[in-house]
Chain A
């Protein structure tokens, strides 16, 4: 069992939890993920590691409440325990000789982009962070991001924070203003990562994206997480989750992400009924 030591509601649909898992915390690196199972009936669901503290022995994940499992996870509080928590899985991100980098986070992807920015910042690279949200109420971890980069640009689709536009628009603007990025890291919804990759391809800037498809074991056993990269099938769990954005077949990844949509809806119904039950019981 893995105890939740801290829980923080970041916005209406996004929650941060810090979980006591010392063995994982000892080995975790940016870019890696964990798989958890809330209870005995639960699904195994992957979450990218948002932060870790080797001394405290904790691993932080940030999740969006989208399906049954995340709804259930969100009912847990500080002191509650998660049944299974396994990792660190996947290949850690490698940053060799990166000097100028743009780290882009779309929505929840910001939480996954954060440890990468943090590590690059620590390694001495100049880090610009661009984060994008639908509106200002959905903005998460702004202060955390500020601390790990040279410049932070928070964009909103509706301009409600005074900065209207998509992350791609900001990125292009920065490139055109003379920023000389040798690497772009883009993490967020598939459509966003696709758009960033198309843009950077035009400018010939190496781009890394983080793929987070459905998977079961996270060790290469099920093959459910397969994606097409450079015409070859890769397993996101063991070959990734970081891939060259210019080689990823995003269109097939987007189609594959819909495989269990119906079940996700059913799961959401089941767990929201359960939660209503709790509410009524009080």
Chain B
């Protein structure tokens, strides 16, 4: 049954791609896309759609792809998604739309993500952006943070006629799409194209604006004339393990490591001025997508040995299966059931990572197996640099300067999940700033919900 298998995605060869920063997955050709689209059974009850946080009309766009009507397919996706070329690349489809695909019962689900990417890329290359003139309603909304949540919220509000300004703390808009996710997984020109589409719709973007410092949320609402605000500031505060030696030279947070590489192009040093030091042996601690991005960057920067150090087993890894597979193909050595306990240094520089072996225990209430250290199992790994990719939490800058915004113990904004409304009137929040570190598409879903709520709030206020 040929139909049980998806059309394979062409990739750069692992031995070639682990030496460059170009995109790994090359994308379907039109022929491949049509063939894959024809696998869609066009189920009446559309199970795939319930797996999509932004409710893309999946069977509808796939049917158009099958007919070779790519631009029409793009329009269907664009009705509900602000960033299709991004989602087609970085969404965990296996846990969302594709998880519910009926094709997946007997074989492989339809490659919805790959088709979305194909359609979005086709549009960027061949399509026309018709900028419909939108009648302005004269109301101003401030969006704080230009990551996936903020951009989605901005796009939806602009379509409804709002005067939208996005404030970004860094010098480039895009948030984690620019500073976090590497070029080889999400080319920055793609992200920029999606952002340019928003500015063409009239969305204003102000970079170098740290809200909480240069302006507070209250000032935006009271002095700068904004009628409502959305906070999508992400989870930008890096966690460390709090073990000895973590402040040695050569120890990075994943945020610092990835920002140097992705946002500041340290992989092009000295053409670009920002340096990065990795040495020959690199250990990345963690098991999520950020850890996978970090190991794969390290190998591309020319490290001879790159280790992924994770305290649980592969089964418990939060990273996408595809990312794990890619990392392995690129020569990353997985050191599983291994937990760092101390970093040893010499003259202020990292030399060795002392680890202890772990064993799996019972499942916790969330169903994830716990681990415990095995006595007297300590051992050393020779390393020149260590990257801590063990999670991030929300940045306190806005929380600390807006006392009437309720946050929880983890520092996340408390919102009504249905509406994204915070404890402060006219202020909405979504994405990692609310959930803690999660995915691009969940952030986009929250941005969408918030846009709808802001629209309702401002209409009722009249």
Contacts and interface: CB of A to CB of B under 8 A. Distances in A.
A184 interface: no
Interface residues of B, number: 41
B413 to A, nearest CB: 16
Nearest to A40: B272
Given A87-B210, A255-B249, A220 B169 contact: no
Interface stretch (A141-149, A172-180, A259-267): A259-267
A132 B247 CA distance: 30
* 10 A-B pairs with the lowest CB-CB distances in the bound complex, closest first: A255-B348, A263-B275, A222-B256, A223-B253, A86-B208, A221-B236, A84-B171, A43-B273, A259-B249, A223-B238
Contacts of B238: 221-223
Nearest to A41: B272
B68 interface: no
Interface in B262-292: 264-265, 269-275, 277
B213 A27 contact: yes
A224 B274 CA distance: 13
Contacts of A222: 238, 253, 255-256, 259
Contacts of A37: 171
Contacts of A224: 252-253, 256
B171 A263 contact: no
Contact of B347 (A69, A228, A255, A260): A255
A217 B273 contact: no
Contact of B395 (A41, A219, A258): A219
A233 B240 contact: yes
Given A41-B265, A87-B213, A89-B213, 12 more contacts: A27-B214, A84-B171, A221-B259, A222-B238, A222-B253, A223-B240, A224-B252, A224-B253, A255-B347, A259-B250, A260-B277, A266-B275
Contact of A233 (B210, B247, B256, B270): B247
30 contacts: A27-B214, A41-B265, A41-B272, A42-B272, A69-B273, A86-B169, A86-B208, A86-B210, A87-B210, A88-B213, A89-B210, A219-B169, A219-B210, A219-B395, A219-B397, A220-B236, A223-B240, A223-B252, A223-B255, A224-B252, A224-B253, A226-B240, A228-B247, A233-B240, A255-B248, A260-B275, A260-B277, A263-B275, A266-B275, A267-B275
Main secondary structure of the interface of B (DSSP, over half): loop
Contacts of B270: 263, 266-267, 270
B207 interface: yes
Nearest to B276: A263
A88 B276 CA distance: 26
Contacts of B248: 255
A220 B237 contact: yes
Contacts of A69: 273
A83 B172 CA distance: 11
A256 B264 contact: no
Contact of A216 (B247, B259, B272, B277): B259
Contacts of A256: 247, 249, 348
A84 B253 CA distance: 24
Interface string B192-236: 000000000000000111100111000000000000000000001
A199 interface: no
B161 interface: no
B207 A84 contact: yes
- Counting chain B CB atoms within 10 Å of each CB, which of A42, A43, A222, A267 scores highest? A222
B170 interface: yes
Interface string A99-137: 000000000000000000000000000000000000000
Contacts of B256: 216, 222-224
Interface of B: 169-171, 207-210, 213-215, 236-238, 240, 242, 246-250, 252-253, 255-256, 259-260, 264-265, 269-275, 277, 347-348, 395-397
B459 to A, nearest CB: 31
Nearest to A72: B273
B429 to A, nearest CB: 17
Contacts of A223: 238, 240, 252-253, 255-256
A220 B214 contact: no
B171 A86 contact: yes
Contact of A258 (B170, B215, B348, B396): B348
Nearest to A254: B348
Contacts of A43: 264, 273-274
Contacts of B170: 217
B189 to A, nearest CB: 14
Contacts of A85: 208
A68 B236 contact: no
Contacts of B250: 259
A205 interface: no
Contacts of B269: 263, 266
Contacts of B242: 233
Contacts of B207: 84
Nearest to B274: A43
